[in-house]
Amino acid sequence: MQLTGVTHRYGPDVSLSYPDLRLAGGEELVISGPSGVGKTTLLHFMAGLLLPSGGEVRYGDTLISGLSEAGRDRYRASTVGYVFQDFHLMPGYTALENVLLGLGLAGVRGPAALARARETLTGLGLGGRLHHSPRQLSTGERQRVALARAVAHRPKLLLADEPTAHLDPSRGLDALALLRGTAAELGATLVVVSHDPQLVGAFERRLELGRSVAVSAAAAGSQPVPA
Ligand SMILES: Nc1ncnc2c1ncn2[C@@H]1O[C@H](COP(=O)(O)OP(=O)(O)OP(=O)(O)O)[C@@H](O)[C@H]1O
Ligand SMILES: [Mg+2]
């Protein structure tokens, strides 16, 4: 994943400009900074959910910021797992159906999808909650369903926006362990946005937006092959 000269304008009043960034496959990064600084916007660029006004976003050889909307949909379906800040689970669907919906978007359907959805939820400790709807689940369980939906299609880029915002501190570390464990299993690059000092402190490579760019020495020093 590589960002070069990325800028964005939301109307005449909001103008964002980002430091260049290069992430190798399997690497992990936490993005922090004050509210409104543009953290979620940056994740949206990485996911191909939003096109920057200027600059380039690349994943491997693909110029994500040059793709059509359909191309970006395909990129997301094949490559990206996104854990939304407020989970974005479908309230009228069970845990299993939520994960199946995500797999359907990635083109995995039928018995293979059902097996994958069950296996992913069970692997995240939700084997006994397959047929519960989100409102019948605890916040931590909802978060794991959101994670299951994000990873069931086995993405190589896992993006999580404030994954501990709704959890108490001990659960926060569980959530991080789940994200890391899943990313490691998939060999995926992991990018997490967080305000939570405990979570931020658990990452070696950090990007703090809104002040002078603070990328760790390890990050600045090495030039690994971009993913
Ligand atoms: N659709 C939009 N239209 C106009 N302005 C927007 C839009 N989305 C975001 N913004 C503005 O862009 C800036 C960055 O927003 P963004 O959501 O990326 O911030 P953030 O760092 O994720 O904040 P938070 O920590 O509160 O989630 C904010 O000032 C926000 O008001
Ligand atoms: Mg945000």
Tens-digit pLDDT profile for residues 35-65: 999 999 999 999 999 999 999 999 999 999 9
Residue nearest to atom 2 of ligand 1 (CA): 10
pTM, to two decimals? 0.90
Q: Which CATH number fits domain 2-221: 3.40.50.1950, 3.40.50.300, 1.20.1260.10, 3.40.30.10?
A: 3.40.50.300
Torsion angles phi and psi, residue 175, rounded to 5: -60, -40
Domain range list for the chain: 2-221
28 Cα–ligand 2 center, Å: 19
Centre of ligand 2 from the C-alpha of residue 60, in Å: 26
Structure tokens at 166: 């709704």
pLDDT score at 166: 80
131-159 residue pLDDT tens: 999 999 999 899 999 999 999 999 999 99
For 6, the enclosing helix (H) or strand (E) is strand 2-10
Q: Supply the pLDDT for residue 214.
A: 34
Ion ligand 2 — residues with CB < 5 Å: 40
Q: How much is the pLDDT for 225? A: 55
Burial of 226 (0-12, 13-18, 19+ CB in 10 A): middle
Q: Choose which residue among 6, 14, 53, 211 to substitute to test ligand 1 binding: the one with the highest number of ligand atoms within 8 A of its C-beta.
A: 14
pLDDT score for 226: 58
Q: Compute, in angstroms, the gap from residue 212 CA to the centroid of ligand 1.
A: 19
Segments of the chain with pLDDT less than 70: 211-227
In the prediction, which pLDDT does 174 show? 81
Residues with CB under 6 Å of ligand 1 are 10-11, 14, 35-41
